[in-house]
Amino acid sequence: MTDSFEKMIMDTPFLNLVRQRRSIRHFDPKPVEKEKTVTCIEAARLAPSAENVQPWRFVVMDDPARIAAFSDTVFSGIYRFTRWASRAPVLIAIFAEKDWLANRLGKEIQGTSYYLIDIGIAGEHLVLQAEELGLGTCWIGWFHARKARKFLAAPKGWRAVALIAMGYPRGKRNKTKEKRKKKMLEEILYFNGYK
Ligand SMILES: Cc1cc2nc3c(=O)[nH]c(=O)nc-3n(C[C@H](O)[C@H](O)[C@H](O)COP(=O)(O)O)c2cc1C
């Protein structure tokens, strides 16, 4: 990052929270307090959405036996690389119940699947609230979505869009000085048009 942008970045509690967050794939077996999980979902509930459709639906698994059986089902075959998530104390399945007007029409006219944007925003609200509560999370897109819907007995119109693994991080948080590969502001930010 060049000096010019770096100097302009303000120091805010929110930015520090965002800086602190990273994907966590190793968890302490300690269960997550239900209040914390519900608080995270509340943060997701308040997210903005196209036409205020609020397409998100959350199915929370916090029973280890249930998570194990779910994992056997959705992280098999080509999805086996996500098996680490079977050891997460909490696994949240985020479904989308699509709205005809906001999604079908939006997709047809603008080519944009708004419900996926909506789910992304809500999910990240959840993740950042978890971070503030000392919990680690990891988004999961690599799972068998159709089997997830069946396993959780979700209605036919629901689509399993993502999972979020959640729990207390194993070991000391952020003890490594690992550099995360994030693009520089110069690579992604353009004022007043691309030049
Ligand atoms: C929509 C989405 C899907 C993801 N799917 C997976 C996944 O299936 N498995 C996995 O290990 N990580 C997954 N991740 C986590 C990313 O690998 C991770 O966010 C990225 O490497 C950046 O690292 P950071 O989260 O620590 O900043 C996913 C992240 C997002 C946002």
The yes-or-no verdict on residue 16 having pLDDT over 60 is yes
166 Cα distance to chain centroid: 10
Residue 19 main-chain phi, psi, to 5 deg: -65, -35
C-alpha torsion angle, residues 14, 15, 16, 21 (rounded to 10): 90
User: Is 193 contained in some domain?
Assistant: no
User: Is 195 contained in some domain?
Assistant: no
CATH at 155: 3.40.109.10
User: Is 194 contained in some domain?
Assistant: no
Domain holding 47, by residue range, is 3-188
C-alpha span between 104 and 173 (Å, rounded): 43
User: Is 145 contained in some domain?
Assistant: yes
Q: Answer for the pair 61, 92: CB distance below 8 angstroms, yes or no.
A: yes
User: Is 84 contained in some domain?
Assistant: yes
User: Is 176 contained in some domain?
Assistant: yes
| pTM of the predicted structure, to 2 decimals | 0.94
Name the residue at shortest CA distance from atom 17 of ligand 1.
23
Residue range 32-52, pLDDT digits in tens: 999 999 999 999 999 999 999
Locate all alpha helices (DSSP H) within the chain, ordered by sequence.
Answer: 3-8, 13-20, 34-45, 64-74, 106-110, 114-132, 145-151, 185-188
User: Is 105 contained in some domain?
Assistant: yes
Determine the residue of 139, 144, 163 to mutate for testing ligand 1's pocket, defined as the one with the most ligand atoms within 8 A of the Cβ atom.
139
Q: Answer for the pair 61, 88: CB distance below 8 angstroms, yes or no.
A: no
Work out how many domains the chain is built from and give that number.
1
Residue range 89-135, pLDDT digits in tens: 999 999 999 877 777 778 888 888 999 999 999 999 999 999 999 99
Determine the angle formed by the axes of helices 114-132 and 34-45, rounding to 10 degrees: 140
Ligand 1 neighbours, Cβ below 6 Å, are 22-23, 25, 82, 138-142, 162, 180
